[in-house]
A and B are shown apart, each in its own frame.
Chain A
């Protein structure tokens, strides 16, 4: 076996000062220097003496692992665990602060599909530009052009500006270009969060065949345990910038979900306000049938999820998703706020909102008793991916406890016919 990715003791440090205030202005720097000249020099001196600034934040610390040729490795972990930072280092977008990575072969990445698409350009023009950004030569793109278009299923819209595309079409075209890159190592970050189910399946199949038939290596970052399970043979679990576990996919996924279980019982989740995000989810609440806040729900009774979010700027196209995953990582349902209100997709006025999703359980059909995770996502912001644990109990014994993800209280119709 040949090692194609060798990560040796990688760390990444950010200076928090750059994070908090967004960008600096020259005025702040100058006025701070003049207002507090002594403090300025003292800080400078202490920085020089100690060799580092006190306000450090380690996004990654001492990561080491290696990936063999032909392997599909998953990187999982909660938000802020350092998954995206790792990918940014692997793709050379940002340098590590310490350590070394050796990559053998042509590397290509698929980070947030559609980056580099220009809304004014047509599908055809964007294929060329996006291909070039990803590192393809013009001749390569010309050769693969027909296959790219066919895979995306976009023959009809090739000469339409992509600003008229739906978000699903966008993703399909972008994924298709990247999938035809034929790199030795493909790095993928949460691209399957958007696009319709059928195309997601097609993408997964394509990635599988790329790894299996062409013996290429894939590093896959995702929150979607189903996709990770279907694709990866091995996983790395990150937690707070460090490697928590490396091993067989099933083992790592169950360790991850177990860890998340620590949060079971919590029913109100709050998230930091971030004005720079077009849509910023601030609060998620689980409400029982009677409207009380609780994470312990009764089978057969409806429950609701209340989202508090702000729209900070107009977004061209966005959906808010709620999906439900069971302990095995199987997705049970997906619901979007745009399902019944399609106008939300293109038009959201800035302001604060409260949205309520209702799960319509009845006495006869319900999710089976057990532990579940709800995922709340926003299409315009791949970073916004919140995993909320909830428990469904069968205290009132409305249902007989049987295996299966659904619980039914169905009285069989019986007739004696002879």
Chain B
């Protein structure tokens, strides 16, 4: 067997080789995700059913108040399915962001005692939410049957791209906030508030069209492109706004890269500061 040599030195410059390290530790990424799923629904009666329950109840409440009473337009689509398609991606995003941001602090006893690529922590938080996303999508399929919508079959291939954009946006922002959270615990207080604010600048409960000539501003929020495109694919009605989708993808990639670089830069002192 070949012996591996480890060299430990003070300053480690950032390199994209570090991303390869995650690949080498993919087994650990799997175990973290697996553990998170096991723990999440231990000692609950409904178990994974909670992944369905939350967006479903939110949909009902939003449909009653925003759709029925406030009469928020929904581009001619029945409001319940309109809001559910948005909520599906929104909850995947917001839960991933929240968990990724606290992933370092909540695993601090492991961080201070064992070495492994720290990047795994914010990543696995997102992967577990992807499972919830999958479960919650089943409800969307049911709703589509109920309201008689058929997706654009060819365009459905775009759905994984939308998931990837959401993932990059959530992880990128999460990485940045997670490393800040190690040093400044203020993040814990800012985050729920911040996520709530984000909901209002994302076209979840309303269509971007209600902003009229300012609707292009929303394109800088990667979730706008994601949710709008998802609605077009699944519920039809419009053509895909490719420019908007490209802006969203680019914004997500930039946020992701900045997040990773910042995280790697601060990573070495996590164990000392946490």
Q: Please report A residues at the B interface, Cβ cutoff 8 Å.
A: 14, 18, 23-27, 29, 88-107, 109, 111-112, 115-116, 118, 120-121, 125, 128-129, 132-135, 137-138, 184
Contacts and interface: CB of A to CB of B under 8 A. Distances in A.
Interface string B33-50: 011001100110000000
Contact of A23 (B9, B110, B183): B183
B28 to A, nearest CB: 5
Contacts of A88: 112, 271
Contacts of B12: 95
Contacts of B184: 23-26, 29
B6 interface: yes
Interface string B257-274: 000000000001101110
A123 to B, nearest CB: 13
B110 A18 contact: no
A112 B109 CA distance: 10
B42 A120 contact: yes
B71 interface: no
23 contacts: A23-B183, A23-B184, A23-B185, A25-B185, A26-B184, A89-B8, A90-B8, A91-B114, A92-B115, A96-B8, A102-B8, A103-B8, A104-B3, A104-B5, A104-B6, A106-B4, A115-B114, A118-B39, A121-B38, A132-B28, A133-B31, A133-B114, A138-B30
B186 A102 contact: no
B31 A101 contact: no
A125 B271 contact: no
B113 interface: yes
Interface string B107-146: 0011111111000000000000000000000000000000
Interface in B19-64: 27-28, 30-31, 34-35, 38-39, 42-43
B267 to A, nearest CB: 10
Contacts of B35: 118, 121, 125, 129
A137 to B, nearest CB: 6
- 5 nearest CB pairs, A to B: A132-B31, A92-B115, A101-B8, A103-B6, A115-B113
B48 to A, nearest CB: 16
A145 to B, nearest CB: 15
Contacts of B27: 132, 137-138
Nearest to A22: B185
Contacts of B185: 23, 25
Interface of B: 3-12, 27-28, 30-31, 34-35, 38-39, 42-43, 109-116, 183-186, 268-269, 271-273
B10 A125 contact: no
Which of A23, A29, A134 gathers most chain B CB within 10 Å? A23
A9 B268 CA distance: 20
Which of B9, B11, B114, B269 gathers most chain A CB within 10 Å? B114
Contacts of A89: 8
Contact of A24 (B30, B113, B183): B183
Given A94-B272, A111-B114, 7 more contacts: A23-B183, A94-B268, A95-B9, A95-B12, A102-B7, A104-B3, A133-B31
A262 B95 CA distance: 58
Contacts of A91: 114-115
A99 B39 contact: no
B186 A128 contact: no
